Structure 1
Amino acid sequence: MYFDRTNLSDAQLLDFYKALVYPRLVEEKMLLLLRQGRITKWFSGIGQEAIAVGATLALQPNEWILPLHRNLGVFTARHMPLHKLFHQWQGHAEGYSQGRERSFHFGSKAHHIWGMISHLGPQLSIADGIGLAHRLKGEKLVALAFTGEGGTSEGEFHEALNLAAVWELPVIFLIENNGYALSTPVSEQYRCSQLADKAWGYGMEGMRINGNNLLEVYQTILKAREYAIREQKPVLIEAMTFRMRGHEEASGTKYVPARKLEEWALQDPIEQYEAFLLEQKILNPELITALHHELHTTLEAELALADAAAPVAINQKKELADVYAPLPASMSLLPLVNEALAAMSAPREKRFIDAITEGLQQAMNKHPQLLLMGQDIAGYGGAFKITEGFLERFGKDRVRNTPLCESAVLGAAAGAAVEGHKSMVEMQFADFVTCGFNQIVNNLAKLHYRWGQPADVVVRLPTGAGVGAGPFHSQSNESWFTHTPGLKVVYPSSPADAKGLLLAALEDPNPVLFFEHKALYRSISGPVPEDYYLTPIGKAHLVQTGTDASIITYGSGVHWAMEYAALHPGISLDILDLRTLQPLDYSAIRNTAARTGRVLVLHEDTLTGGIGGEIAAWIGEHCFTSLDAPVLRCASLDTPVPFAAALEHEFLAKSRLEASLNKLLAY
């Protein structure tokens, strides 16, 4: 094995040796502790340490690395204390995720290491967002994302590489090709001769290297870094190696031919590099022994320190509080529309859609770090023309057309957030969010709870039926997300709330899904203050008070309820507009139930699994003594949204509103 030591001193080569050996020694100790039951799981990187160590050594300490299960060398080369890593692996409160995650599913902003999730593609898109932030700030930095050869089969691999190429981002994609994705060999994973060849299809540089050669990895990443910064373009590197142990220890290696293990054992990265240093007279047997003793001493001292850790203390209040990032103090200085509307400039009459546009414009003026991303949102102005003129006003760096890659764009938004950017991602239709579901529910929603990282991302979702758009452009899918802790879900019904809730969402450091009903865009108007103001997230609005029955609703349901009330003045209706679906305003729900004793939950979403079921259950559990009738639900049919006008009319909950109220009032 040839080692290129260009521009490396003897002292550096010796430091590299220690950086390579240390994770091996740690792993050998962890395997012993696994057998003793002191840790519960381990994903071994024995035999492929040179990739993680060489890549980390080639980067600057403030450049983000997005590692996977087998990259212990990233963490040790970034000098993360072993005792705290051990706390992490044992599930102690002093670990990086406070006992909430295991193994390497955690990140550390202080060490510029992003916390992976079990899904093997999403971190690639996160790197795009970090690279974008570096580019926009003019920083000479790169982001490096690991993936395995199995991960290249994920759709996110294509989306992330394509987005990086189109946006010309300084990102290094590093494939650890270790022969097997759990037990699936490469022969069943892809048909190209080498994965590096895929780079050419994206218009980027690609190369294959020996992943067991520490200096080849180091020199290649060093050159790739220089290229990515100089040219502002991504690079794909395939590092060939082999996994000498099972996917995780319980899996074993019975599916691996013995001859392969024997062949790759001869290419052990530590033995090969050690032989090179011996030949260069940089190492000798006595020094090897001394260095191993030094590293073992450090290792044992760190583990002794780790043993003093206290077990996790149960604190339910803290667990719930850490699901969301705290709101910035600056939000308290902004006027709330409920409290200060009269003191604002005289409201103007605006359409629902124009209120959203005005809110976005004002947010872009207030927050120079705010980015807008979405399909056709730049020159075209978006499918509904909400961002028309934004390109000319704010420039192409901040108003970014995207390829058709919802998942990669959402991942990029998360990555940009870690570098201080706010992002608004527009789904052309709420239906298309399915293509980015994983990024929302598994990355964005869980970031703060897992390792304290806010996700300052707003996702706008044009939603709803009543416009004759059929099954794939009309769904009400808000209930998919109200079940996921860590997300905030808002759904305005008026122009004033559309602007105020959007501004509140953009001020909030948590991921917010902003549903806006397409049928309301140009059909309703109302007073909207010109000022920059917030409609508080998590606070319902009492549209009108009544004594006979309560209608709890949101979005288009508010207008259906108001229309019904106007046509039936003899019925005294309490109408509560939830406005926020996660978190719900339980105080307002309790108050309306107590006022009337009869509650109808109305929503456009289908009946089964809709949020109406959760609200009805909560009222039954907490407000039972206030009720004079069972809580009823009025929702759309449990079918896909039909296209024909007559079928769509019958589908919508509005067609059953009168019958539902009559049934409720009959009790």
Structure 2
Amino acid sequence: METTDLTSQKMTFNRKNYSDEILLELYESLLMPRRIEEKMLILLRQGKISKWFSGWGQEAISIGVVNALQADEFILPMHRNLGIFTGRNMPLERLFAQFQGKLSGFTKGRDRSFHFGSIEHHIVGMISHLGPQLAIADGIGLADKLSKEKKVTVVFSGDGASSEGDFHEGLNVASVWKLPVIFVVEHNGYGLSTPSEEQFAFNYFTEKGPGYGMEAIRIQGNNVLEVYDQIKTLAEDVRQNPRPILVEAITFRMRGHEEASGTKYVPKQLMEDWAKLDPVENYESYLEEIGVLDEKTKEKVNKRIKKSINEALEIAFAEESISANLETELSDVYAPFSQELISPAPNSPKSEKRLVDAISDGLRQSMEKYPNLILMGQDIGEYGGVFKITDGFKTQFGADRVRNTPLCESAIIGAGLGLSIKGYKAMVEMQFADFVSVGFNQIVNNLAKIHYRWGQHADVVIRMPTGAGMAAGPFHSQSNEAWFFHTPGVKIVYPSNPYDAKGLLNAALEDPNPYLYFEHKGMYRSISEEIPDDYFTVEIGKASLAKEGRNVSIITYGMGVHWAMKASEELNLSADILDLRTLLPWDKEAVKATVKKTGKVIFLQEDCLTGGIGAEICAWISEHCFEYLDAPVMREGSLDTPVPFAPSLEKQFLPVERFKEKLNRLIEF
């Protein structure tokens, strides 16, 4: 990192027309995180807190930003932005309780340091994966733009985190959609111990802005007055002329990435040069030089800050260690929601609909029911999506609500979460379920965990065109529902017929929790039935008996329901066919009832056999229903290979014939 142009010169302050009062407010605001950190480093050595991520030397960026924005504008900080939290006047006792894992902390002891948010304070915290918060800022900015609120959102990134794909996706989407988001890159020269020259092949991030079609400016990040003035000026402009701006704040971290890592990898001279540019000492000296700060005022401010810190620490330390409560832990995984089932009227008109029509019908009616529902996905606008689910939607609902997106699944899922934070609902269409792998992190670490961590719901439904049988090969045919079945915090539905397809989609869109909605491409136009034209919902978490019988229970979902129906007819079996419909949470009572009824059970899934959903449910049956069994619990699925392209290979891959053979063996047992 080139630093000589910054470290070889004295820091220059320009108060412009700012009053003494503002200058002193910035001083006190700047001093607070430094004094807290001094205290935390002592507590860390005493073993009273477990970890500390230092922002020593970088405080001016946080303080300049937080004071430049309006109190109701969102900020998405990172590890070294303690000043954002203190600058928004968070109660220090709650902040310290958070650091200690106490119940009154913002995550109830479930996460540490700054991995939390507070809607009250308009802060959305980070996760350890660093990059995904840029897309959330996009979603918040989109919500402000749609609501015509003249607001700006600021999101932070370190120079190391900029190497992640989420950085590119976040900036690209913001630029394409002209979102009112300021991206602040804290360029401190290192990603943990890796210097900038080993992270990227350019000197300054201002070189990247033009590539995204956005303005980019570079500021001295240690100069609190410069940061404040620049962000304030930019924010005022962006509120009137919405667009993204990249701000590079040159700074330096004077302590380790976290305390245990130290700073031995930093050249001594570089450390000494940056020490001369300490943001607190330099600003304090400037205020003294211009007669705004005297010893009496300085002593008074320090005394007030130290008193508030010590009093808050006393409260936090006095709080008892957290006691685990099983009911609370389990209930907080999802946002509270009590489904009110909406049944179609007895005289509701019906019409013949294919699965694809039922999905489109439900989505259209949900768009009419919820004016705050935004649809996002590749080619879903004028083109109507590759499967034509949203054909005509753009004309009916407008381009603001039916949004074509760049090819960036992670950013769009993250933007859905940002919309949710601002009170919107979001539906994200994966062009193919296979492509969700690119957005995996947003689902399992942001959407799924955010309510459990700090009580923020994620009102996002991700539609997943899935399944094989059409010779589409290994990247357009995967059944990947099991990837998410292991993730607490998401809900998974998978309809097997048009009625359930419409009702489950409507139900998912009503619920403020994140959903994965799987829809089998092979059933889109191959099955149809008469279903109500009116809006209705299907109960989440409730399985359905697709067929009743006496001798064997077939538990399945999706295309498996149709395979099971055909097999039972061909083999002339009296079989219970239980369609799970909801995979997470799944209906244990219905499973137990059918096993108890027949005594013989087989699970059928299109997914590969190993590690599939059937493995979990069969294990549960063996543990909880053993006394009802008259035969071993069996299961069948696709081969443990990728999905092949050639029709003959794909036919062998799928479990249809193997299932029939195994079903026969089970009956004969």
Quick check: TM above 0.5? yes
- 1:516 aligned partner: 519
Matched, 1:646 2:645: no
CA displacement, residues 365-413 of structure 1 (integer Å, 9 cap, x when unaligned): 0000000000000000001011000000000000000000000000000
What's the TM-score, normalizing by structure 2? 0.98
- 2:355 aligned partner: 352
- In the alignment, the residues of structure 2 paired with residue 541 and residue 404 of structure 1 have an alpha-carbon distance, to the nearest angstrom, of 37
Helix, strand or coil for the counterpart of 2:259?
A: coil
- 2:555 aligned partner: 552
Letter in 2 for 1:543: A
Q: Which of 267, 270, 277 is equivalent to 1:267?
A: 277
1:56 is displaced (CA, Å) by 0.4
Letter in 2 for 1:383: V
- Which stretch shows the higher mean deviation, 286-295 or 637-646? 286-295
- In the alignment, the residues of structure 2 paired with residue 505 and residue 481 of structure 1 have an alpha-carbon distance, to the nearest angstrom, of 16
Q: Which of 469, 474, 484 is equivalent to 2:472?
A: 469
Letter in 2 for 1:374: G
Matched, 1:368 2:393: no
Q: Which of 97, 106, 112 is equivalent to 1:102?
A: 112
Matched, 1:160 2:162: no
Matched, 1:137 2:140: no
What's the TM-score, normalizing by structure 1? 0.98
Matched, 1:233 2:256: no
- Which stretch shows the higher mean deviation, 651-660 or 502-511? 651-660
1:527 is displaced (CA, Å) by 2.0
Between the two proteins, the alignment pairs up a number of residues equal to: 659
Distance 1:342 1:593, change over 3 A: farther
Matched, 1:242 2:274: no
Helix, strand or coil for the counterpart of 1:327?
A: coil
CA displacement, residues 111-162 of structure 1 (integer Å, 9 cap, x when unaligned): 0000210001000000000000000000010111000000110100000000
- In the alignment, the residues of structure 2 paired with residue 24 and residue 608 of structure 1 have an alpha-carbon distance, to the nearest angstrom, of 53
CA RMSD in angstroms, aligned pairs only: 0.9
Helix, strand or coil for the counterpart of 2:208?
A: helix
Helix, strand or coil for the counterpart of 2:247?
A: strand
- In the alignment, the residues of structure 2 paired with residue 298 and residue 658 of structure 1 have an alpha-carbon distance, to the nearest angstrom, of 72
1:666 is displaced (CA, Å) by 2.1
1:346 is displaced (CA, Å) by 3.7
Q: Which runs of 4+ in 1 moved over 6 A?
A: none
Contact 2:349–2:534 under 8 Å retained in 1? no
- 2:615 aligned partner: 613
Contact 1:378–1:388 under 8 Å retained in 2? yes
Q: Which of 170, 173, 190 is equivalent to 2:180?
A: 170
Letter in 2 for 1:343: P
Contact 1:344–1:529 under 8 Å retained in 2? no
Alignment of 1:186-265 (within 5 A): 186-265=196-275
Q: Which of 489, 500, 503 is equivalent to 2:503?
A: 500
- 2:426 aligned partner: 423
Contact 1:227–1:233 under 8 Å retained in 2? no
1:344 is displaced (CA, Å) by 5.0
- 2:321 aligned partner: 311
Contact 1:378–1:399 under 8 Å retained in 2? yes
Contact 1:20–1:53 under 8 Å retained in 2? yes
- In the alignment, the residues of structure 2 paired with residue 47 and residue 115 of structure 1 have an alpha-carbon distance, to the nearest angstrom, of 21
- In the alignment, the residues of structure 1 paired with residue 277 and residue 395 of structure 2 have an alpha-carbon distance, to the nearest angstrom, of 57
Contact 1:177–1:242 under 8 Å retained in 2? yes
Helix, strand or coil for the counterpart of 1:400?
A: strand
Letter in 1 for 2:244: P
Matched, 1:113 2:116: no
Letter in 2 for 1:85: L
1:163 is displaced (CA, Å) by 0.2
1:262 is displaced (CA, Å) by 0.6
CA displacement, residues 198-224 of structure 1 (integer Å, 9 cap, x when unaligned): 010000000111000001101111122
Alignment of 1:437-452 (within 5 A): 437-452=440-455
- In the alignment, the residues of structure 1 paired with residue 568 and residue 433 of structure 2 have an alpha-carbon distance, to the nearest angstrom, of 30
Contact 1:491–1:579 under 8 Å retained in 2? yes
- In the alignment, the residues of structure 2 paired with residue 98 and residue 528 of structure 1 have an alpha-carbon distance, to the nearest angstrom, of 46
- In the alignment, the residues of structure 1 paired with residue 491 and residue 46 of structure 2 have an alpha-carbon distance, to the nearest angstrom, of 43
Matched, 1:30 2:40: yes
- In the alignment, the residues of structure 2 paired with residue 85 and residue 24 of structure 1 have an alpha-carbon distance, to the nearest angstrom, of 15
Alignment of 1:654-665 (within 5 A): 654-665=656-667
- In the alignment, the residues of structure 1 paired with residue 511 and residue 332 of structure 2 have an alpha-carbon distance, to the nearest angstrom, of 15
Letter in 2 for 1:291: V
Letter in 1 for 2:253: R
- In the alignment, the residues of structure 2 paired with residue 97 and residue 612 of structure 1 have an alpha-carbon distance, to the nearest angstrom, of 34
- In the alignment, the residues of structure 2 paired with residue 547 and residue 440 of structure 1 have an alpha-carbon distance, to the nearest angstrom, of 41
1:585 is displaced (CA, Å) by 0.2
1:342 is displaced (CA, Å) by 6.9
Letter in 2 for 1:573: A
1:343 is displaced (CA, Å) by 2.1
Letter in 2 for 1:588: A
CA displacement, residues 35-64 of structure 1 (integer Å, 9 cap, x when unaligned): 111100000001110001100000111011
- In the alignment, the residues of structure 1 paired with residue 307 and residue 324 of structure 2 have an alpha-carbon distance, to the nearest angstrom, of 34
Contact 1:197–1:207 under 8 Å retained in 2? no
- In the alignment, the residues of structure 2 paired with residue 246 and residue 383 of structure 1 have an alpha-carbon distance, to the nearest angstrom, of 49
Contact 1:211–1:240 under 8 Å retained in 2? yes
- In the alignment, the residues of structure 2 paired with residue 224 and residue 470 of structure 1 have an alpha-carbon distance, to the nearest angstrom, of 49
Structure 1 unaligned residues grouped into runs of 5+: none
1:254 is displaced (CA, Å) by 0.6
